[in-house]
Amino acid sequence: MAPPPPMAAKSNTNGAAAAAAVHPAGPQQQQQQHRRRHVLLFPLPYQGHINPMFRLAGVLHARGFAITVFHTHFNAPDPARRHPRYRFVPVPDGIPPGTGTPPVAIEDVVARIVALGAACEPHFRDRLAAVLEEEDDYSGDGAVACLVADAHLLPVFQVAKRLGVPALALRTGSAASYACFAAYPMLCDRGYLPVQDSQLDMMPVPELPPYRVRDLMQLGKGGHGHELIRELLARAVEAVEASSGLILNTFDALERDELAGIRRSLAAGVPVFDVGPLHKLSPAAAGDDDSSLLRQDRACLEWLDARPPDSVLYVSFGSLACMTPRDLAETAWGIAGSGVPFLWVVRPGLVRGAGGQSQHQEQQLPEGFEAATRGRGMVVAWAPQEEVLRHRAVGGFWTHNGWNSTMESVCEGVPMLCRPYFGDQTGNARYVEHVWRVGFEDGGELERDTVEAAIRRLMTGTDGAEMRARAGELGKAAAECIEKGGSSCIAIDKLVTHIMSLDSTQRRRGELQDLT
């Protein structure tokens, strides 16, 4: 990931200093905030979580809400460049300045996520109190309506509750993945987890179809990794169950049964809003993806313009997944051997060196690859993915199956070659292959021959064409849900009504005064 911009404010737990840390709004923005109810947001500072949160912000802003974004110093947005209509409040997170490169090992990433909420808690309390004190300057209609926070930030929900602010949880993954989160204690009690024997990986989990054991979220075979992931999921479920509502970036036609199951399992006081696909309801302006942490190479769109329809394989493994130098070489030579035109994202930090450190892009691609693929391929450090997948030339997507990438591919009717790495990606790939049948997984060790065969199957094979046709139908269903009267538009109407009905006026002023 790109290093974060300089800190917008120094850490200070004093209430007055916290008030000063709120980025001031211009006169026009202040006037708008007097007229609008206020929604506060707090995203988890990783690409796959920031993106849907800011898209949700766009939806709510368009419905008349003023937006204030609390953010960590790590991977902080740039208020001067992005979202000029929003207000930004920096929250110290305990991560030393300049620590822009995230941990390489996924276990370390999970540990950072677990620790982040607790590190932010006292500073968020002061920042939130400062924002609430400003309500005295608002008209009645300008008061804070609620907080929407990433479900992985449990301490943020606890602070909001203490200060009397209703909090809704945004889960940036699928409905199926949340069902897996909630079922995790049961899966452990029944012996599915932690997995001790790799031979059990393919065993089905009848309590959670269509998952197999290998599709469940896990970090290694027991030990510290298992306890870490269990804590991560338990905290997210606790946040959701204590919230005033669960917001999911999915849509009814895609996960109807899973959504129904979640609604049955949650208390009546936790309504569920399936408002996706958020990237379609609040698209970024062309050439200005204001939620991207990496700079996009837009020259690839002109390159695609010169390619025939459905001819190009787009390859991207997201913002966090890493591979070894050997895996990159096998991937490269498999792509070269397939003969298929390709657009490949090789981001800085994709490849781990022998010591676990990420390598620079110029050190990554094997010697001779460029010459072998000259004229039919393009390699970029980062791409405007939504526009790439929407391009007529793209006929397939080799993906890590992060939920944002999966949703974007579904919405554009692009079939997928699945290579999940961690987290909910394995479960997403399972749905792609066995439920929606719009792609297939290429698991196991990366070997150039199998890579070549998989690419040809997706791009030129008969079953690849069938997947493409089914993907097109799923794309139509996604388009219908965001039309007037569609399921997601109805869900957004319900969400807005729900937010306006929340009571955030019962805070005792003494609670706020005690924090100053």
Three-state secondary-structure class, residue 469: helix
CA angle at 83 for the pair 79 and 85, rounded to the nearest 5°: 105
Are the C-beta atoms of 117 and 153 separated by less than 8 Å? Answer: yes
Instruction: Please state, in angstroms and rounded to a whole number, the distance separating the CA atoms of residues 292 and 61.
Output: 19
Helix boundaries (H) for 267-384: 278-281, 299-305, 325-338, 369-373
Provide the CB-side half-sphere exposure for 474 (13 A, CA): 29
Q: In what order do the strands lie in the sheet with 144-150?
A: 87-91, 66-72, 38-42, 144-150, 167-171, 246-248, 272-274
How many other β-carbons are positioned within 10 Å of the β-carbon of residue 42?
29
Which residue out of 93, 126, 150, 442 is catalytically annotated?
A: 150
Number of H helices, E strands in the chain: 19, 13
Are the C-beta atoms of 401 and 420 separated by less than 8 Å? Answer: yes
Instruction: Please state, in angstroms and rounded to a whole number, the distance separating the CA atoms of residues 37 and 7.
Output: 28
Instruction: Please state, in angstroms and rounded to a whole number, the distance separating the CA atoms of residues 467 and 478.
Output: 16
Extended beta strands in 163-300, E state: 167-171, 246-248, 272-274
Instruction: Please state, in angstroms and rounded to a whole number, the distance separating the CA atoms of residues 341 and 337.
Output: 11
150 is annotated as an active-site residue: yes
DSSP structural state of residue 25: P
Provide the CB-side half-sphere exposure for 293 (13 A, CA): 24
Q: Quick one: which H or E segment has residue 390?
A: helix 385-390
Which residue out of 49, 71, 83, 391 is catalytically annotated?
A: 49
DSSP sequence for 73-136:
STT---TTTS-TTSEEEEE--SPPTT--SPPSSHHHHHHHHHHHHHHHHHHHHHHHHHHHHGGG
Instruction: Please state, in angstroms and rounded to a whole number, the distance separating the CA atoms of residues 279 and 128.
Output: 28
Extended beta strands in 429-484, E state: 439-441
Phi–psi pair at 56, nearest 5 degrees: -60, -40
Dihedral sign from CA coordinates of 487, 59, 280, 262: negative
How many other β-carbons are positioned within 10 Å of the β-carbon of residue 20?
12
Phi–psi pair at 235, nearest 5 degrees: -65, -40
Catalytic residues: 49, 150
